[in-house]
Each structure stands twice: as C-alpha cells, then as structure tokens.
Amino acid sequence: MNQADASSMILPPATLGILGGGQLGRMFTVAARTMGYRVMVLDPDPDSPAGALADIHLRAAYRDHAALEKMGRACAAVTTEFENVPADSLEFLAQFCPVRPGAAAVEIAQDRRREKTFLQSNGFSTAPFETVENHSDLAAAFRIIGSPAVLKTARMGYDGKGQAKVNSIAELDAAFQQMGAVPCVLEAWMPLQTEISVVVARGVGGQTAAFPAAENHHAHGILDTSIVPAQVAAELAEQALDTATAIAAVLDYCGVLAVEFFVLGDGRLLVNEIAPRPHNSGHFTLNACVTSQFEQQVRTVAGLPLGAPDLLRPVAMLNLLGDLWRNGQEPPWDVVLRHPQAKLHLYGKRGAHPGRKMGHINVLSESVDDALGQALDLRAALTA
C-alpha cells in the first residue's frame, strides 16, 4: 500500500485549483468534485469546459498576477491542465500554495530542445536530433540527420501541428519558413512498428503508479484510437513502464506524467516526448481501471496515497472529432448510448470544427481486438 504523511494530506472539502479549463481540466474537475473537493479553474475562455463545472471560474490571463494571487490564496494546492502555462506564472503562484507539478519540470516539457537534451543526458534513448535556432543552422542539421527527417517547432506544437516531414534541404528550408523561422528541432525519421504511451502518477513522497501501456494510432497527426493492453511484447511494455517511472523520478516530478514512445521495427524503444499532465491516450482509465488518471491527478496534488492503476478489462478508446458534426448537427448519440459496453464522454465544447477534440468513447470487451472492432463500428454508425 502507498504511504503518505497524514499531516501533509489535503482533504475534502478543501479547494483545489487548476490552470487551464479545457477537457482535461473538466475531467479533473469531475474527479475532484466527486471526491468532495471544491475546484477553482483559471482560464480566460468564458466558455471553458472545465469552468462550466467548477465551483469558481476565474476568467483571466495566465500571467494575470492578481488572478494568480487570488487563486493561490484560495486554493490548498494547484495543478496544471496543459504544459504551455507560463513557467513564471507557476513560480509566482508557488509563493502562495503548493504547485504540482512544479515549474522546473513543466518548463523542460515546454521546449523540445530542452526536453530531448534532458532525456539524452539522463540516459533515455530518443531519435537522433539537432537543434535549429535560425536559418543558418539548417544545412548543418540536415547534413547530420540526413533524409528523411521531421522538422518540429521547439514550442507549442501538438496534434501534428508545428511539424513537417522533409526529404531535401529545399523542403527543409520551405518548412522552416512556413513555421515562421522559429527555433526548431530536426529529428531523424524512424521506421516505426507502432507507437505506445504510458501514463504514470508520482506522489509527494515519491511513490509511483504506472498505468498499462496503450497502443496508439493516429490520423492526420491526431490521436485516433488507443487500445489497452498494447499489442507488443510483454517485456517491451514493462520496459516502457519502467522508463516512464524513471523519467518521473529524475524530474523529481509530482503529478501525472505521460510518456510517448516509438517502437521501432527492430524492437527498440525510443522516447518521443513527455507531457506533464493527463493525456488523451490515458482516457481509457476513466472506465477500464480501478483509478482514473484524473483521480490520480487529484491524489497527487492533494498529497494523498495513489490509487491502484490496475486494468479491469481490455479497452479501446476512440476520439470523437468535430468532423462528426455535420452542418452543425449533433451526431446520433443514441447509437452509442444503446451499446451496453460503450461509455460516451463529451467535453461540453461550443463550436465543433474538423480536427477539434469534442469527446471520446471507451469500449470494454473480452479482448482488445473485439473492443476496437466495436469502437470502429460505432464510429461508422455515427457517420452513416
């Protein structure tokens, strides 16, 4: 059993804060309120999905010191929904209450140059990469990395945005200009067998709990489906859990951390990137695990013992994008709600558009193949 110092635990009905009010913040809010906590969300969007469910929604910018101080004085502890919250805002907020994860760990994950350098310097294998600070670095980076390669912006890239595959120096130059000539990393294009991810929780006292590895498939750079357990060798899945746990330890991390991996054709495992928050590929935990990734986030920020991460049944997670909303019409949700093994999660977002994450479905079954088949059948029914 996980141990935690009772004197440091933050118990209900204390107020917990979260910076960021999107779908991840919404699911954190549901978990926290279910456990008896009050929740304060800071997000400038008046239509924030998390703000709609929170006890208090501070509509303010992430660098608004008055709002941050108000949050820090009202909350027993604060966490983050996304990695691009300004690190200096986290440092300012930490004057008033515990912030978990801390600014130092989040700042590493905000910049691919720092992230990949950190990983390699601590013995974690990544794809070969070179940093590109300006146009004069392009030729040397391409000469070292070779072709094909992937150019990625150092900051603010997600869901396939801010990256481009290149096969020549001319394509690299064009991609760099299209990205606004901002600092980037150039990575070698790796021959993948598949991609997997591990979500790990690490508590105040260093205790850890890693969820089973998810096998992920993307469409147009956006996560499409995740299946758990991942269909990879047991030894490789265990290596991924051990690696994610080790990364959290080296970061001296407190919170929920996602680690994405490339599985190469020769069976090697490379770290792709880390995310200092719950992750889209961890949404299966809402229905298929003893403890969800969002309950673990509540537990880590509140200094509680961690919950068991055990998988209850094989599961497939299917992302629901705005493409399903045709002419502004809601999809026929009855086809999902009639399904006895499907769980519908909608994020309460206003305005569906192609590529926007609007919700997800978890389908539980006796095997991942059957769960995935049923999830894909449901999507087909939603688009019929």
Q: pLDDT for 345-361, tens place per residue? A: 999 998 899 999 999 99
Three-state DSSP at 296 gives helix
Residues 139-184 have pLDDT tens digits of: 999 999 999 999 999 987 665 567 889 999 999 999 999 999 999 9
Q: Among 109, 138, 158, identify where a domain stops.
A: 109
222 and 351 housed in the same domain: yes
CA pair distance 315, 208, nearest whole angstrom: 23
pLDDT tens for 237-291 read 999 999 999 999 999 999 999 999 999 999 899 999 999 999 999 999 999 999 9
Q: What are phi and psi of 369, to 5 degrees?
A: -65, -45
- Judged against a pLDDT cut of 70, whether residue 2 lies above it is answered with no
Range of the domain at 54: 6-109
Q: Are residues 223 and 315 in the same domain?
A: yes
- CATH number, position 16: 3.40.50.20
| Residue 123 lies inside a defined structural domain of this protein | no
- In the predicted model, is pLDDT for residue 6 greater than 90? no
Read off the pLDDT band of 37 (50, 70, 90).
very high
Are 95 and 151 found together in one domain?
Answer: no
Residue 379 and residue 240 share a domain: yes
Residue 325 and residue 317: Cα distance in Å, rounded? 19
Q: Which residue has the higher pLDDT, 319 or 384?
A: 319
Section 177-199 average pLDDT = 94
Residues 228 and 376 in one domain: yes
How confident is residue 327, by pLDDT bands cut at 50, 70 and 90? confident
318: confidence class by pLDDT, cuts 50, 70, 90: very high
pLDDT given at position 5:
65
Identify the CATH number of the domain in which residue 133 sits: 3.30.1490.20
Structural domain contains residue 266: yes
Same domain for 83 and 31, yes or no, is: yes
Domain assignment of residue 73, yes or no = yes
The pLDDT score that the predictor gives to residue 4 is 57
Give the CATH number of the domain where residue 210 resides.
3.30.470.20
Does an H or E element contain 78, and which? strand 77-80
User: Domain check: are 160 and 282 in the same one?
Assistant: no
Which residues on adjacent β-strands are paired with residue 199? 258
Q: What does pTM read for this prediction? A: 0.95
Count of domains observed in the chain: 3
Task: Enumerate helices (H) and strands (E) in the chain, giving the number of each.
Answer: 12, 17
Q: Is residue 116 part of a domain?
A: no
